[in-house]
Amino acid sequence: MAVYLDHAATSPLLPEVLEAMLPYLTTHGGNPSSLHASGRRARQGIDEAREIIAQGIGAQPREIVFTAGGTEADNLAIKGVGWAATSRGRHVITTAVEHKAVLNATAILERSGFEVTVLPVDADGRVDPIDVAAAMTERTTLVSVMAANNEVGTIQPVAAIGEIVRGHGAKFHVDAVQFAAHEAIDVDAWQADLVSLSAHKLGGPQGVGALFVRRGIQMLPQIQGGSQERQRRAGTENVAGIVGFGAAYRRLGSDAGEPDRLRALSGRLLQGLLAFDGVTLTGHPENRLPNNVSVVIDGVEGGDLVAALDLEGIESSTGSACTSGNTEPSHVLLALGIEPHLAHGSLRLTLGPETSEADIDATLAALHTVLPRLRNISGVRPKATVPA
Ligand code: PLP
């Protein structure tokens, strides 16, 4: 069995989630909009998941809109609220380290005549709330800041930003797709109006997500069709997927010791990595997701390293899965001020519930095999000998 250290890309489906989903893929096959017993059973599955997720983030069930993933939730928040608020202004603020789902959604607004401010981050990937305050104008209608970064794991001061945005009267969107797997969410403490979630980052199925939309927020649906999801997202619901999302969410926080266990394993892995010459941590040293170890390694190409580790049975990532295959260095690492030649050598290792100490040691052993070889191939010699 390979050592899977790519939980930020997808955290594999948990057995209890599959178990919860199976009846909805077999016997409970009705359309939730149908009035008969099969339809009502499917509707009940959705309602239960909606309640679990709403309760998990401190929201009301009617404030949860199910979508086909985090990308759609981000698009719905940004375009839906951006377009609904044009009578008040056309200015949107976001940050340079957002996921492409946010950045490309704001770019589309920009092409339609909106003004978009993309805030910088510091060398650890943190946004300064003072920069948010300074960027707000009377035309600002929406601010979108992620809770935790998918590449470097940096956690943003979301509550402080929420207070500024609320005080100004604009709406606040938080992409919590990565954050939700590891930390509790309270939409009121964040003063958030919109929060994006995705099931497959928490051991749920791929292709299911949700957007929290605070009661009273004006938002234009982005998919036209039937009246599902209180007319905010048309289309027959992914019933089994939504039920799985609920089951995965219910499990969150059930093991109070898990964040500390992940932190200890991440610490061990990072310590081993930093013992190699030319390895630098990326992201904030403390304010980061407990399962995220991301580094840049001088003298290697991230893609080559991921391929070589794969051959050794270690599954990892360079930048985010959504940007790998793309030879451009990650926009996140560049925003942190990392030199492009170093940013090419990025490695992201993200741990999950099954990760053991033996997995960490196997990963470090594989790196001892692979790194010197790759550095020889690329013609870049490590500045000192790699420890045995
Ligand atoms: N936002 C963040 C921060 C992510 O990490 C991801 C996925 O990597 C997404 C949004 C998109 O979510 P999905 O894969 O469910 O479309």
Ligand 1 test: best mutation among 151, 201, 206, 289, most atoms within 8 Å of CB?
Answer: 201
The answer to whether residues 29 and 116 belong to one domain is: yes
* Neighbouring C-beta atoms of residue 114, cutoff 10 Å: 22
Q: Is residue 90 a part of any domain in this protein?
A: yes
For residue 148, the ligand 1 atom closest to its alpha carbon is: 3
Burial group, residue 353, by CB count within 10 angstroms (0-12, 13-18, 19+)? middle
Given 251, 283, 301, the domain boundary residue is 251
Reported as a single tens digit per residue, the pLDDT across 124-148 is 999 999 999 999 999 999 999 999 9
- 178 pocket-lining for ligand 1 (C-beta < 6 Å): yes
Which pLDDT score is estimated for 327?
Answer: 67
The answer to whether residues 244 and 266 belong to one domain is: no
The answer to whether residues 206 and 286 belong to one domain is: no
pLDDT at 384 over 60: no
* Element spanning 308, H or E: helix 302-311
The answer to whether residues 244 and 265 belong to one domain is: no
The answer to whether residues 78 and 125 belong to one domain is: yes
pLDDT band at residue 153 under the 50/70/90 scheme? very high
Provide CB contacts within 8 A for 366, sequence distance 6+: 309, 312, 313, 314
Provide CB contacts within 8 A for 124, sequence distance 6+: 154, 283, 284, 285, 287, 336
Residue closest by Cα to atom 9 of ligand 1:
70
Could you tell me the pTM of the whole model? Answer: 0.95
Reported as a single tens digit per residue, the pLDDT across 322-355 is 445 556 889 999 999 999 999 999 999 999 999 9
Check if the beta carbon of residue 100 is closer than 8 Å to that of residue 217.
Answer: no
Ligand 1 test: best mutation among 13, 99, 195, most atoms within 8 Å of CB?
Answer: 99
The answer to whether residues 76 and 216 belong to one domain is: yes
Helix (H, G, I), strand (E, B) or coil at 75: helix
Residue closest by Cα to atom 13 of ligand 1:
70
Q: Is residue 336 a part of any domain in this protein?
A: yes
Mean pLDDT, the chain, as a whole number? 95
- 151 pocket-lining for ligand 1 (C-beta < 6 Å): no
Give the CATH number for residue 301.
3.90.1150.10
Give the CATH number for residue 233.
3.40.640.10
Separation of CA 375 and ligand 1 centre (Å) = 32
Q: Is residue 180 a part of any domain in this protein?
A: yes
d(CA 56, CA 199) in angstroms, rounded, equals 13
The mean pLDDT of 183-209, rounded to a whole number, is 98
User: Which residue in this structure is represented by tokens 């991301």?
Assistant: 294
According to DSSP, residue 156 is labeled P
User: Which residue in this structure is represented by tokens 């910088």?
Assistant: 120
* Side-chain half-sphere exposure of 228, counting CA atoms within 13 A: 22
For residue 71, the ligand 1 atom closest to its alpha carbon is: 16
The answer to whether residues 298 and 348 belong to one domain is: yes
Which pLDDT score is estimated for 322?
Answer: 44
Task: Let me know the angle formed at the C-alpha of 68 by 227 and 324, rounded to the nearest 5 degrees.
Answer: 155
Residue closest by Cα to atom 10 of ligand 1:
70
The answer to whether residues 231 and 126 belong to one domain is: yes
Q: Is residue 212 a part of any domain in this protein?
A: yes
- 109 pocket-lining for ligand 1 (C-beta < 6 Å): no
The answer to whether residues 110 and 204 belong to one domain is: yes
Given 221, 251, 281, the domain boundary residue is 251
The answer to whether residues 245 and 345 belong to one domain is: no
Structural domain span for residue 267? 3-10+256-378
Q: Is residue 383 a part of any domain in this protein?
A: no
Q: Is residue 118 a part of any domain in this protein?
A: yes
Q: How many domains are contained in the chain?
A: 2
Reported as a single tens digit per residue, the pLDDT across 247-257 is 999 999 888 89
Given 251, 266, 301, the domain boundary residue is 251
pLDDT at 378 over 90: no
- 209 pocket-lining for ligand 1 (C-beta < 6 Å): yes
Q: Is residue 306 a part of any domain in this protein?
A: yes
d(CA 227, CA 209) in angstroms, rounded, equals 18
The answer to whether residues 84 and 199 belong to one domain is: yes
The answer to whether residues 352 and 261 belong to one domain is: yes
d(CA 255, CA 246) in angstroms, rounded, equals 17
Separation of CA 324 and ligand 1 centre (Å) = 14
